[in-house]
Amino acid sequence: MHAESTLAQPTGRLDSLTGLRWWAAFAVFMYHMHVFAPLPGPITTVLLNGYLGVTFFFVLSGFVLTWSSRPNVPVSTFYWRRFARIWPAHMVALIIAIPVFYSLLPIPEGSFLKPFDLGILLLSVVVIQAWWSNPMILFSGNPAAWTLTCEAFFYALHPWISRVLVPMAKRGALLLGAGAVLYAFAYRATVLLFPETGLAAVPVPVQRLPEFVLGMALAWAMRSGWRPRIHPIVGIGALAAVVGLLLFSGRLLGEGPVTGILRGLTNEFFTIACGIAIVALASHALRGKHLWFASTWQVRLGEWSFAFYLVHATFIYLALRIFGYQPASWTNLLWFVAVFVVDLVAAWALHTFVERTMEKRMRRWKDNRDKARGRVRIASV
């Protein structure tokens, strides 16, 4: 009964998390820009950690889906809503990406271009490309879309993980989250220390599942009444601290096996930091406190962030294909601005005319079918 009453309670919007999601997408953009127009000096080392924005996406995805879940939503409706959320925009972004990343002509040595292969591209259409470790498949189609394979896997499991999670009180949920993190550390440490075991060949979606489960567990603990008083500065500081550890571990500990293992565990440390940041911002917002990340412009950009993520690499590599590699220079900041503006305009168009429009139409179609079959329409998931 406790679980049912908790699910039935309304949950408010957490706009600060939407705003923070934008910065995660922007970090990934900055990471990919170095392949085209790197900046000089240590700043490049900082930007190369932008890939960790994907880890934030995975933890946040588990949190948001569990935070917004409602009782009595049919599993088929849940799946359809997730499909409507990601697939139309993904397909348009894929069509745009193909002429940028593929060629029918002989490919020069060292080029990022790939030979056109319809069979491999079809794997991207059904978002299963990340089940293969071969880079030609893993990063096929729109290279950024490998994360959608992970998300599709997470979505498939979410209703069934929820059946285990929802009966738990907040303590059980926190223990499940801690267990997911410990598993992630154990797996990564085993791969680093005993590479001969072949565990590195575990498919990427399975490797990244603990991040999603952590997000789910934290959301359910908070829905069950957990309200830790963590200031948002501490949450954001945790994210920065992990990057700082990665950057300065060599100076602090020297270059050796311990440093190598710490660097190899960066994603796992960052997963914990993401959990701290999400809980800090959510708790602060639920206590009625104003957050900078919840400003109108950041929330708007956060709403565009999925579309921005889908198109950002395509236009970066299009610039690389047209203008060639730019040597490291501070003047490359002009390229950062130019490519960013193009990406942002494309993201706005993709979000406005495809992502949001198609999602509404597809959801309405399924809701009407559910109503016709006598199912109760429940609030959004």
Based on the number of CB atoms within 10 Å of its own CB, is 96 exposed (0-12), middle (13-18) or buried (19 or more)?
middle
Contact residues for 52 (Cβ-Cβ < 8 A; gap 6+): 27, 242, 243, 266, 267, 270
pLDDT in tens, 159-191: 999 999 999 989 999 999 999 999 999 999 999
Percentage of the chain beyond pLDDT 90 is 81
**pLDDT, position 100:** 98
pLDDT in tens, 22-70: 999 999 999 999 999 999 988 888 999 999 999 999 999 999 999 998 8
pLDDT in tens, 303-318: 999 999 999 999 999 9
Is there a contact between 204 and 138 (Cβ–Cβ < 8 Å)?
yes
* CA–CA distance, 378 with 144 (Å, rounded to integer): 33
Based on the number of CB atoms within 10 Å of its own CB, is 167 exposed (0-12), middle (13-18) or buried (19 or more)?
exposed
Q: Where are the domains of the chain?
A: 2-372
For the stretch 27-41, what's the b/e string if a residue is b when 16 or more beta carbons lie within 10 angstroms of its beta carbon?
bbbbbbbbebbbbee
* CA–CA distance, 39 with 45 (Å, rounded to integer): 10
DSSP state of 14: -
* CA–CA distance, 328 with 330 (Å, rounded to integer): 7
**pTM of the predicted structure, to 2 decimals:** 0.94
Range with lowest mean pLDDT among 277-286, 301-310, 353-362, 366-375: 366-375
Range with lowest mean pLDDT among 207-216, 218-227, 252-261: 252-261
Range with lowest mean pLDDT among 58-67, 120-129, 248-257, 269-278: 248-257
**pLDDT, position 4:** 59
